[in-house]
Amino acid sequence: MIFPGAIAADAFGRRFRYLRLSVTEVCNFRCTYCLPGGYRKSGPMDFLGLDEAERLVRAFAQLGVAKVRLTGGEPSVRKDLTQIIARVSAQPGVDKVALTTNGWNLARHLDEWTAAGLTNLNVSVDALDRDAFHRITGHDRLGDVLAGIERALVLPLKTVKMNAVLLRDGLADDFSSWTEFVRGRPIAVRFIELMRTGDNKAFFEDQHVSGAVLRHWLERHGWTTKERGGDDGPAIEFTHPDHLGRIGLIAPYAPGFCEGCNRLRVTARGQLRLCLFGQGGRPLRDLLQADDQCEELKARIVGALTFKPAAHGLHSANPGDTRSLAQTGG
Ligand code: SAM
Ligand code: SF4
């Protein structure tokens, strides 16, 4: 019996109020660090349908999840993304519906997604220079992506963030274009240290830049770390009195990164992943076929949590069986 309102916890006492749900493995971009050859079909494209996604989120919400992030692949290639947002947002207990997107069609659809219940938006933008953006993503669409971000800033979203992977390419140890970007915009830019995946070994060795490079640059330019709140994710945030926006750093190789882990992941095919860099998944899809399977589904999730590892194996260059983040939902 699972008590209503109880928050599921793992063997290390970590509680999970945050679910990242991948809605597709498909992506239309070819980011050098993720899908350099573009998306290649592996097996049938039978990603979770609307009813399955709704049942899944209902069960997690009953186990205490309050925030659901939709990710992928590129979630916005799904034609029914607006309906997915609406169904997730309608679940009792869910108070934040977030989306991570490469932003290619943001300007066109963001109003409709926000009206459906989207509350938090993360847009991946790896460079503010048009050529570098084109080179990294395979698409000359920086203008469209930035237009979408400008639209986001006038809509009633709780947070608008940008994600940039720290890469040698396009960086040149100078972050001033980014700090200028956030001077007058209330936006958080979060740099993510490049993570090693099964598919990017050589690229990683060539392009990985330590988060310390960013930290030292910011400190030299008058940025200071923000006081951390209890509900904060893994990013360290920096602020500056002359800038409305913030700069963040997500450094998965830093000590203690996994201790505050508050998230669970479900893949687009309905596998529960206990760690982004874990081994294998626990199938949930067979229990997403009818509304009356909810109790059994919750019991399976709670049982699986006891196997969540204390930390990922990235320090020993072990990315689990994660070939790319597009495949598991980054
Ligand atoms: N397609 C969407 C996007 O790009 O925002 C959502 C999926 S993508 C896998 C989610 C995030 O993971 C993006 O911000 C992307 O930059 C990041 N990412 C992908 N591969 C990565 C890697 N090897 N290391 C660090 N971040 C990575
Ligand atoms: Fe696609 Fe996102 Fe991966 Fe880029 S990072 S290839 S946009 S899934």
Is residue 74 within 6 Å of ligand 1 at its C-beta?
yes
Give the pLDDT of residue 278.
Answer: 60
Ligand 2 centroid to residue 142 C-alpha, Å: 14
- Residue 282 has φ and ψ, to the nearest 5°, of -105, 120
Give mean pLDDT, residues 123-139. 95
Please give the share of the chain, as a percent, with pLDDT higher than 70: 82
Looking at every residue in the chain, the average pLDDT score rounds to 87
How many structural domains comprise the chain? 1
Give the pLDDT of residue 254.
Answer: 72
Q: What is the per-residue pLDDT across 182-231, written as a single tens digit (0 to 9) for each?
A: 999 999 999 999 988 888 888 999 999 999 999 999 999 999 997 665 55
Give the pLDDT of residue 2.
Answer: 47
Residue 9 lies in a domain: no
Lowest mean pLDDT among 11-15, 63-67, 128-132, 168-172: 11-15
Give mean pLDDT, residues 33-45. 88
Residue 242 lies in a domain: yes
Give mean pLDDT, residues 51-62. 97
How big is the CA angle at 270 (ends 118 and 262), to the nearest 5 degrees?
60
pLDDT higher than threshold 50 for residue 38: yes
Give mean pLDDT, residues 97-106. 98
In 15-155, beta strands by DSSP E:
18-22, 67-71, 96-101, 120-124
220 sits in which H/E element: helix 211-220
Residue 315 lies in a domain: yes
Give the up-direction half-sphere exposure of residue 161: CA atoms within 13 A in the CB hemisphere: 23
What gap in Å lies between CA 302 and CA 9, rounded to an integer?
A: 8
Residue 11 lies in a domain: no
The ligand 1 atom at the shortest distance from the C-alpha of residue 164 is: 16
Is residue 103 within 6 Å of ligand 1 at its C-beta?
no
Give the residue numbers spanning the domain of 162: 18-327
What gap in Å lies between CA 189 and CA 246, rounded to an integer?
A: 6
Residue 135 lies in a domain: yes
Please give the share of the chain, as a percent, with pLDDT higher than 90: 68
pLDDT higher than threshold 50 for residue 27: yes
- What CATH number did the domain enclosing 246 receive? 3.20.20.70
Ligand 2 pocket test: which of 23, 27, 134 has the largest number of ligand atoms within 8 Å of its C-beta? 27
Are 261 and 12 in contact by the 8 Å Cβ rule? The answer is: no
Q: What is the per-residue pLDDT across 307-316, written as a single tens digit (0 to 9) for each?
A: 655 555 555 5
Residue 283 lies in a domain: yes
Give the pLDDT of residue 98.
Answer: 98
Per the DSSP assignment, residues forming a β-bridge with 193 are 166
Give mean pLDDT, residues 15-19. 84
Give the pLDDT of residue 4.
Answer: 46
Give mean pLDDT, residues 91-97. 97
Question: What residues does ligand 2 touch, defined as CB less than 6 Å away?
Answer: 27, 29, 31, 34-35, 72-74, 102, 124, 326
The ligand 1 atom at the shortest distance from the C-alpha of residue 196 is: 23
Is residue 28 within 6 Å of ligand 1 at its C-beta?
no
Ligand 1 centroid to residue 30 C-alpha, Å: 11
Give mean pLDDT, residues 39-48. 88
Give mean pLDDT, residues 82-86. 98
Per the DSSP assignment, residues forming a β-bridge with 190 are 163, 248
Is residue 27 within 6 Å of ligand 1 at its C-beta?
yes
pLDDT higher than threshold 70 for residue 297: yes
Ligand 1 pocket test: which of 106, 167, 192 has the largest number of ligand atoms within 8 Å of its C-beta? 192
> How many residues belong to the chain?
330
Residue 121 lies in a domain: yes
Ligand nearest to the CA of 276: 1
Residue 2 lies in a domain: no
Chain centroid to CA 309:
20
Ligand 1 centroid to residue 21 C-alpha, Å: 14
Q: What is the per-residue pLDDT across 144-181, written as a single tens digit (0 to 9) for each?
A: 999 999 999 999 999 999 999 999 876 656 899 999 99
Token pair in block for residue 234: 């893994």
CB neighbour list of residue 251: distance below 8 Å, 6 or more residues apart: 193, 210, 211, 236, 257
Ligand nearest to the CA of 324: 1
